[in-house]
Amino acid sequence: MQTIDVSVEGIRTLNQLLHTEDHTGAIEVQNPNGRHSIAVGATIPVDVTVNGHVGYYCAGMNQHANIQVNGNAGPGLAENMMSGQVRVTGDASQYCGATAHGGLLVVQGNAAARCGISMKGVDIVVGGNVGHMSAFMAQTGRLVICGDAGDALGDSIYEARIYVKGLVKSTGADCELKEMRDEHLEELTQLLAAANITEHSAKDFRRYGSARKLYHFNIDNANAY
Amino acid sequence: MTDDYHSRLRESATFPRHVIAEIQRAAREGIYDIRGFGAKRRVPDFDDLLFLGASMSRYPLEGYRETCDTSVTLGARFTKKPIELKIPITIAGMSFGALSAQAKEALGRGASAMGTSTTTGDGGMTPEERGHSDLLVYQYLPSRYGMNPDDLRKADAIEIVVGQGAKPGGGGMLLGMKISERVAGMRDLPEGIDQRSACRHPDWTGPDDLEIKINELREITDWQIPIYAKIGASRPYFDTALAVKSGADVVVLDGMQGGTAATQDVFIEHVGIPTLPAVRMAVDALKELDMHRKVQLIVSGGIRSGADVAKALALGADAVSIGTAALIALGDNSPEHEEEYRKLGTSAGYYDDWQDGKDPAGICTQDPELAARLDPELGGRRLANYLSCLTLETQTLARACGKSHVHNLEPEDLVALTVESAAMAGVPLAGTQWIPGSGY
């Protein structure tokens, strides 16, 4: 285990190490104190544990690394993540998982507005609630919400799938409630297990997705935009 | 019909034929017109300026003999590997998707032959354009289609796109006919659907966030490559100042004449300000911050000739960027396709339906048969010829003004033909000492 105190060594030391192809061995990050861009652009399959709260863009563009934040995360957590796993034990601010292409993002607490905005293949599991406009323009991937969802869930959604256990305040344009079939129960069970969130059962969730009415620009749909 | 018959016809200034045709089309289709190209209306532009040339008090340089340097360094503010251009003209961002792979390759070939850069667009980086572009700028757009850290690290610079001159405040659109299997795959979208590119970034809002975003991208790329910020010309004084404050190495400023692959006509023609005043406003901001020539300014939007290049540089730009003109150099709107333009209800010189994927020149299309018409080597050669011509023209004008580097051109070398252009460019009306708006 290598320990980096970013209040002394700065984030450059940490991020450079995460871009070093021949580095192996776990890394522990101390005193993040809300700093931005902690553990961004990782290219190697290492375990990174961040002890404390992080600012903007923690784990941005992550590839392969397994990053755990023992605390809360600021805006843009794991933005554009490609692979690996990112876990936050507390809450996450706006647009966590934005445009992420792959990997697994777990927020054990709540996630604020625009969680999973424009997601492109990532799996996101939120233990608590999500804010408004979550999964806005979500393209592919799965978003699991164990609590409630705010206004305009899945607005302008493409092919992403959303699972919600709690209340949905409203759905956005072209997002509708879908049938929960066996394959959905199966994939949701797997997602909850992968996220190590064990207190929920897949059968208590509902599925939301695209009505696909806005896929072609049509004047008859003008009122929906 | 007789001449007498024609002399009695009077077209309305309020309802000329193209306006009548648009009302009739709107009544028929019930939806706004979407098209490519850029603004077609007349706006004050670089044609409204003239160079004074050398005289008794200034001596010129010998054409073809005395050196007139055209090299430009971009992005040395913070990064380890600034961009070194041999000419002050770059190729603007245009996407694979909007353009065929052959067209992207041709742009890369032409730009590389002349020692300048080309730029990706919405939809990510293709191996063809990376392979054929010695200097490739990777656009970081709101949609983040195809965005990934591997390509980010392959880029020679990153351009964060905040806006585009053809549509400041608007996102992109790529209609279903151009969403081929390959385009759809790169964008993680279903094939054949109309696809919107977001109008604002998903994970930052405003200049304070942008500063944090720029630092994130620098961390990911280990502070190696420059980061540009591209803005559509609407409030260029403030936007330039805020881009500098946010830490951008280069500001790319796109005026309203800038092209687009697909945008509502009403947006193209009625939003944003012309390139001419935008340059002056951006340079004012850089000078007030003491950052002129430290943060470089690239200007685009309606650049057609070496005269446009020279005038933009004289007003204080470090380089210009071309998009529409580059496509025309590749073969867009060529008379050789006249028969097919007619079938599409248009004519060479008027074709602007770049959004519908039927481009007879094989440039703005994903149809394999149409795209195969463009030979990337020939297209690249044409673009290199055109860039060479622009450069020679720029040098001709610079030498006439006695400048040994094109960056030595200055506002003092210019006068304006109209009161409007004098006010916009901040140079005197020809024959006077009057710069409208500068006081007495």
Residue B76 · residue B122 · CB < 8 Å: no
Pairwise CA distance, residues B347 & B340, whole Å = 8
- Region class of A135: left (phi > 0), else alpha (psi between -120 and 50), else beta: left
**Tens digit of pLDDT for each residue in A142-182?**
999 999 999 999 999 999 999 999 999 999 999 999 999 99
Q: pLDDT confidence of B25, banded at 50, 70, 90? A: very high
Interchain proximity A61–B148, CB inside 8 Å: yes
Is position B434 within any domain? no
Which of B203, B205, B212, B222 to mutate: most A Cβ within 10 Å? B203
Question: For chain A, how many structural domains are there in total?
Answer: 1
Interchain proximity B202–A120, CB inside 8 Å: no
Size of interface A-B (CB pairs under 8 A): 101
Q: pLDDT confidence of B217, banded at 50, 70, 90? A: very high
Is position A224 within any domain? no
Q: A175, A182, A180, A188: which is closest to A206 by C-alpha?
A: A180
Residue B202 · residue A98 · CB < 8 Å: yes
Task: Say yes or no to pLDDT of B71 above 90.
Answer: yes
Closest Cβ opposite residue B203 in set A79, A137, A159 = A79
What pTM was computed for the model? 0.96
- pLDDT at residue B8 in the model: 84
Question: For chain B, how many structural domains are there in total?
Answer: 1
**Tens digit of pLDDT for each residue in B416-433?**
999 999 999 999 999 999
- pLDDT at residue A26 in the model: 97
- pLDDT at residue B110 in the model: 98
Task: Say yes or no to pLDDT of B410 above 80.
Answer: yes
Q: Name the residue in chain A with its Cα closest to that of B214.
A: A37
Q: A207, A7, A75: which is closest to B208 by C-alpha?
A: A75
Which of B188, B199, B215 to mutate: most A Cβ within 10 Å? B188
Q: Name the residue in chain B with its Cα closest to that of A20.
A: B222
Pairwise CA distance, residues B340 & B360, whole Å = 7
Structure tokens at A112: 């604020």
Structure tokens at B414: 């210019």
Which of A15, A16, A21, A57 to mutate: most B Cβ within 10 Å? A57
Q: Name the residue in chain A with its Cα closest to that of B34.
A: A217
Minimal CA separation from A172 to chain B, in Å: 16
Task: Say yes or no to pLDDT of A224 above 70.
Answer: no
CATH number at residue A64: 2.160.20.60
Interchain proximity A101–B188, CB inside 8 Å: yes
- Tell me if chain B has a CB within 8 Å of the CB of A49: no
- pLDDT at residue B191 in the model: 87
Minimal CA separation from B99 to chain A, in Å: 21
Is position B384 within any domain? yes
Q: Which residues of A touch B187 (CB under 8 A)?
A: 139
Count of residues for chain B?
440
Query: Which residues 205-264 of chain B have a CB within 8 Å of chain A?
Result: 209, 212-213, 215-216, 219-222
Identity of the amino acid at B240: T
Q: Which residues of B touch A79 (CB under 8 A)?
A: 202-203
Query: Which residues 110-169 of chain B have a CB within 8 Å of chain A?
Result: 143-144, 147-149, 152
Backbone φ and ψ for B186, nearest 5 degrees, come out as -70, -25
Q: Name the residue in chain B with its Cα closest to that of A102.
A: B148
Structure tokens at A61: 């563009």
- Region class of B170: left (phi > 0), else alpha (psi between -120 and 50), else beta: beta
- pLDDT at residue A128 in the model: 98
| Mean pLDDT taken over chain A | 96
Percent of chain A with pLDDT over 70: 97
Is position B233 within any domain? yes
Pairwise CA distance, residues A59 & A68, whole Å = 9
Cross-strand partners of B330: none
Handedness of CA B132, B137, B143, B148 (dihedral sign): positive
Handedness of CA B353, B357, B360, B363 (dihedral sign): positive
Report the range of poorest mean pLDDT among A210-214, B5-9, B84-88, B340-344: B5-9
Please, which residues have CB within 8 angstroms of residue A162's CB and are 6 or more apart in sequence? A134, A135, A138, A142, A143, A144, A145, A149, A153, A154, A175, A207, A208, A209
C-alpha pair distances (Å), B399 with each of B54, B157, B309: 9, 31, 14
Interchain proximity B190–A37, CB inside 8 Å: no
Residue B10 neighbours by CB distance under 10 Å: 6
What proportions of chain A, in percent to the nearest 5, are helix, strand and coil? 15, 25, 55
Distance of CA B235 to the CA centre of its chain: 17
Alpha helix stretches (DSSP H) within B189-323: 206-220, 236-246, 265-270, 275-288, 306-314
Which of B220, B222, B224 to mutate: most A Cβ within 10 Å? B220
Residue B229 neighbours by CB distance under 10 Å: 28
Is position B7 within any domain? no
Task: Look at residue A57 and give its three-state secondary structure.
Answer: coil
Identity of the amino acid at B180: S
CA dihedral B171, B176, B181, B187 (to 10 degrees): 20
- Integer-rounded Cα Rg, in Å, for chain B is 22
**Tens digit of pLDDT for each residue in B176-202?**
887 888 888 888 888 888 888 889 999
ipTM above 0.90, yes or no: yes
Residue B235 · residue B212 · CB < 8 Å: no
Task: Look at residue A45 and give its three-state secondary structure.
Answer: coil
CATH number at residue B287: 3.20.20.70
- pLDDT at residue B440 in the model: 52
Pairwise CA distance, residues B124 & B112, whole Å = 20
| Mean pLDDT taken over chain B | 95
Minimal CA separation from A225 to chain B, in Å: 12
Backbone φ and ψ for B376, nearest 5 degrees, come out as -60, -30
Angle between helices B376-400 and B306-314 (to 10 degrees): 50
Element (H, E) at B111: helix B101-113
Task: Say yes or no to pLDDT of A214 above 90.
Answer: no
- pLDDT at residue B216 in the model: 98
Count of residues for chain A?
225
Identity of the amino acid at A96: C
Task: Say yes or no to pLDDT of B1 above 60.
Answer: no
CA geometry: angle B305, B310, B312, nearest 5 deg = 95
- pLDDT at residue B2 in the model: 58
Structure tokens at B433: 């000492």
- Tell me if chain B has a CB within 8 Å of the CB of A134: no
Q: Name the residue in chain B with its Cα closest to that of A221.
A: B31
**Tens digit of pLDDT for each residue in B241-295?**
999 999 999 999 999 999 999 999 999 999 999 999 999 999 999 999 999 999 9
Is position B190 within any domain? yes
Interchain proximity A57–B203, CB inside 8 Å: yes
Identity of the amino acid at B338: E
Cross-strand partners of B99: B96
DSSP string, A72-96: -B-TTTTTT--SSEEEESS-B-TTT
Residue B30 · residue B367 · CB < 8 Å: no
Q: What domain range includes position B329?
A: 38-414
Task: Say yes or no to pLDDT of A222 above 80.
Answer: no
Closest Cβ opposite residue B215 in set A37, A76, A158 = A37
Residue B267 neighbours by CB distance under 10 Å: 18
- pLDDT at residue B123 in the model: 85
Q: What domain range includes position A118?
A: 2-212
Is position B420 within any domain? no
